């Protein structure tokens, strides 16, 4: 399992900072007469207002405006699980003035299972600001006390244990698929149109469990019992919840969120954007953790590496679906 230096204290920002300072030197030479950004930015959100990307973008907006000394306007272009927004963004001028929020695995998995109007390579990731590792939760009053109980229940009742989450080929779904493969159990996946409706579905007992984002698990910690976290270490805000790996199942799955631009955008522009987001992300780190998000500071290179690694993993997972 490749590890990211996410928790190594002050060192975690080092690679980005180095990359950025080098990038900034180049960009200063290359675009001295017309330095980016010379006009206002558009920050497109492919999901409806109120979700994680929206909340984060609204936290970033005033700080980005301060950093770039330009207006940053947030627009929405929603539908198709984000596909409408990304297929629009890929055709925008590749000058860095139109940036879009994104989430992984969506931009990798969607082109693998259907034609969403864009290819993963039409888009260039500029920055990843946080992730929400997947968490398996059941109701607080459930007789299922831990992951072993859950797996035993699923073994004894094939297909009748239901697990809810968002959509198909999403982070939630792939987390559930990984668990089914690793533990060799047969769960019934019940897709919902968003995270919102999954919460009352579990609370009302309409599904047996949820594979959900750390944000939802953290915000509903009074009502739901978290059985395991799909990450390679325990989450700082959920220290008492063990990982799947600790319990012998290699399940690691998270939804990563960040910003991207059309693929042809010049590297120095992307680096400038990443530097802005890096500064802003450090300022809102506390607010993000309060939401139950796991903050990252990954620039374009680390983001691209992650995409390459996940592409291989998902092509195997999705073939089985």
Partner 1 sequence: MDVLLAGLGNVLSVEALLLVALGTVIGLFVGCVPGLTATMSLALLVPFTFTMDPLSGLVMLGGVYTASMYGGAFSAILINTPGTPGAIATMLDGYPLARRGEGERAIVGATLASVFGGVIGFLALLLLAPVLTIAALKFGPPEYFWVAMLGLALIAALSQGMMLKGLMGGAIGMLLGTIGISPVGGESRFLFGTPALQGGVELIVALIGLFAVPEYIRMIGNARRSITTRQDGAALPFARVVKEVIRQPFNLFRSAGIGTIVGIIPGAGNNVAGLLAYSEAQRASKQPEEYGHGSMEGLCASESSNNAAVCGSMVPLLTLGVPGSPPAAVLFGALMMHGLTPGTRLFTENGALTYGFIFSLGLAALALLPVGIYGGRLILRMMANVPVGFLVPTIGLMTLLGAYSMRNSMVDVFLMVGVGLFGFVLRELGVNPATIALGLILGPIAEQGFSQAMLMGRAYDVPALALVQSPLSIALACMVLFSISLPSLRRAKRWLATRSQGE
Binding residue (CB under 8 A) for partner 1 from 59, 60, 214, 281: 59
Binding residue (CB under 8 A) for partner 1 from 13, 68, 81, 96: 81
- By CB under 8 A, tell whether 214 contacts partner 1: no
Nearer to partner 1, 62 or 93 (CB): 62
In the complex, minimum distance from the CB of residue 26 to partner 1, in angstroms, rounded to a whole number: 34
Phi first, then psi, for residue 23 (nearest 5°) are -60, -40
Nearer to partner 1, 81 or 175 (CB): 81
Number of other residues whose CB lies within 10 A of the CB of residue 26: 12
Q: Using alpha carbons only, give the angle 284, 237, 218 rounded to the nearest 5 degrees.
A: 95
Binding residue (CB under 8 A) for partner 1 from 61, 247, 279, 289: 61
- By CB under 8 A, tell whether 111 contacts partner 1: no
SS3 (DSSP) at 166: strand
In the complex, minimum distance from the CB of residue 251 to partner 1, in angstroms, rounded to a whole number: 22
SS3 (DSSP) at 95: coil
SS3 (DSSP) at 137: strand
Number of other residues whose CB lies within 10 A of the CB of residue 9: 7
Q: Which residues pair with 255 in a beta bridge?
A: 132
CA 103 to each of CA 9, 32, 154, 176: distance values in angstroms, whole numbers, following the listed order: 25, 33, 30, 18
Which 224-253 positions form the footprint of partner 1 (CB under 8 A)?
A: none
| Distance between CA atoms of residues 180 and 188, nearest Å | 10
Binding residue (CB under 8 A) for partner 1 from 7, 48, 156, 315: 48
Nearer to partner 1, 30 or 318 (CB): 318
- By CB under 8 A, tell whether 80 contacts partner 1: yes
| Distance between CA atoms of residues 54 and 132, nearest Å | 15
- By CB under 8 A, tell whether 137 contacts partner 1: no
In the complex, minimum distance from the CB of residue 121 to partner 1, in angstroms, rounded to a whole number: 16
Which 147-206 positions form the footprint of partner 1 (CB under 8 A)?
A: 157-160, 162, 167-169, 188-193, 196-197, 199-201, 203-206
Mark residues 302-321: x for contact with partner 1 by CB under 8 A, - for none.
Answer: --------------------
| Distance between CA atoms of residues 37 and 28, nearest Å | 12
| Distance between CA atoms of residues 184 and 161, nearest Å | 14
CA atoms within 13 Å, Cβ hemisphere of 189: 21
> In 176-275, where do the E strands start and end?
188-192, 209-213, 224-230, 254-262
In the complex, minimum distance from the CB of residue 186 to partner 1, in angstroms, rounded to a whole number: 9
Binding residue (CB under 8 A) for partner 1 from 8, 24, 79, 250: 79
| Distance between CA atoms of residues 73 and 157, nearest Å | 51
Nearer to partner 1, 69 or 222 (CB): 222
- By CB under 8 A, tell whether 264 contacts partner 1: no
Which 275-304 positions form the footprint of partner 1 (CB under 8 A)?
A: 287, 290-291
Which spans of this chain sit near partner 1 (rule: CB under 8 A)? 48-51, 54-55, 58-59, 61-62, 75-81, 83-84, 87-88, 113-118, 157-160, 162, 167-169, 188-193, 196-197, 199-201, 203-207, 219-220, 222, 287, 290-291
């Amino acid at each position: 399992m490749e590890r990211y230096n996410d928790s190594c204290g002050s060192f975690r920002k080092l690679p980005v900072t180095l990359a950025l300072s080098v990038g900034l030197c180049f960009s200063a030479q290359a675009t001295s007469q017309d330095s980016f950004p010379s006009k206002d930015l558009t920050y497109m959100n492919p999901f409806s207002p109120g979700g994680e990307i929206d909340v984060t973008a609204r936290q970033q907006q005033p700080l980005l405006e301060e950093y770039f000394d330009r207006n940053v306007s947030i627009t929405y272009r929603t539908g198709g699980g984000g596909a409408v927004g990304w297929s629009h963004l890929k055709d925008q001028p590749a000058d860095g003035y139109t940036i879009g929020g994104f989430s992984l695995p969506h931009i990798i998995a969607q082109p693998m299972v259907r034609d969403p109007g864009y290819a993963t390579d039409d888009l260039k990731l500029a920055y990843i600001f946080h992730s929400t590792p997947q968490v398996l939760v059941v109701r607080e009053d459930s007789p299922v006390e831990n992951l072993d109980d859950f797996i035993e229940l699923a073994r004894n009742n094939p297909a009748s244990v239901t697990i809810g989450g968002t959509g198909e080929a999403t982070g939630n779904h792939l987390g559930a698929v990984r668990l089914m493969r690793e533990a060799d159990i047969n769960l019934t996946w019940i897709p919902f149109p968003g995270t919102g409706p999954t919460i009352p579905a579990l609370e009302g007992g309409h599904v047996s469990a949820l594979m959900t984002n750390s944000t939802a698990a953290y915000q509903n910690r009074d009502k739901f019992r978290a059985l395991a976290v799909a990450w390679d270490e325990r989450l700082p805000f959920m220290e008492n919840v063990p990982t799947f790996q600790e319990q012998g199942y290699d399940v690691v799955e998270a939804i990563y969120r960040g910003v991207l631009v059309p693929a042809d955008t010049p590297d120095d522009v992307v680096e400038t954007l990443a530097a802005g987001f890096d500064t802003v992300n450090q300022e809102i780190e506390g607010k993000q953790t309060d939401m139950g998000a796991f903050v990252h500071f990954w620039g374009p290179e680390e983001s691209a590496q992650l995409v390459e690694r996940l592409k291989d993993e998902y092509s195997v997972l999705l073939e089985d679906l």
